[in-house]
Structures are given as structure tokens and as C-alpha cells.
Structure 1
Amino acid sequence: MPREFALFGILIPTLLPLFILSIGLQTLLDRVLGWLGVYRMVWHPSLARLCIFIAIFGALTLSLYK
């Protein structure tokens, strides 16, 4: 897999679209978990959100580079 790709003549690292996609997926999952009330059972909701984001970004990165 290439490390970067050209978008309108600009070289963009491959991790940037994965980062943006993981932000979108985390936002969607965050809304669902907030609606279900999961964050009321978590000790530190902000830390839980960060861990979910890191897990999503790591999974997307591993699926691309493995």
C-alpha cells in the first residue's frame, strides 16, 4: 500500500483519510452510546471517548497496513 497518494496534485499521507474516517465513526458511535446512556456507567467519559477513538483508528490502520 502506498504511503501517500496524490489528490489534485497534493501528496496526502494515507493515514490522514483514515484519521478523518475514524473521527466520523467515533462521532457516530459516541452519539449512539450517549443515547443508550453508556457514559453514565463509565468513570471518566472523556477518557472512554479517547480510548474508543484510538481503538477505531488503530483498527483502520491495521486493516490497511497488515
Structure 2
Amino acid sequence: MLSNLVSYKHVQTTPASVWLIEHGLSTDVPVIDCWIELNGETVRVVPKSIERIDGSTCKAVFSSDRVGFAVVA
């Protein structure tokens, strides 16, 4: 049971192809959902890559500059 689930929402307001997500959750295996603005719609996407920098930071790489948000748990 996931009674102590903690999450962080990263908001990317400046268009960028690389999002540095400093979530501060101290986790070895973060679960990340990315959502971008595309043609006036918010859609869930899978980035080209996601790299864990350390237990509190990860990086999402897209094929072009994007705005949107990522939820990390």
C-alpha cells in the first residue's frame, strides 16, 4: 500500500529541450510523467530520454523546445 506517497510537480514555463527537474524526493528510482503544450492541448509525452542525476534531481530531454510540466513520484 502506498500510504506515504509523495510527489513533486515541476513547471517548465520557458521553452527548453532539456528540463532540469530538482524534485528533492531522495529517491533512487523516480517515476516521471511529462506533459507538454501541443497545438493548444496538454498531452502526455515520453521524452527522448530521462536521466537520474542524483536522488533529488533528474533531466528530461525532448527533441525540441517544450513548455509544460512533469510530475515526479
Question: Normalising by the residue count of structure 1, what TM-score does the alignment of the two structures yield?
Answer: 0.23
More strand by share: 2
Question: Normalising by the residue count of structure 2, what TM-score does the alignment of the two structures yield?
Answer: 0.21
Q: Which has the higher contact order (CA 8 A, sep 6+)?
A: 2
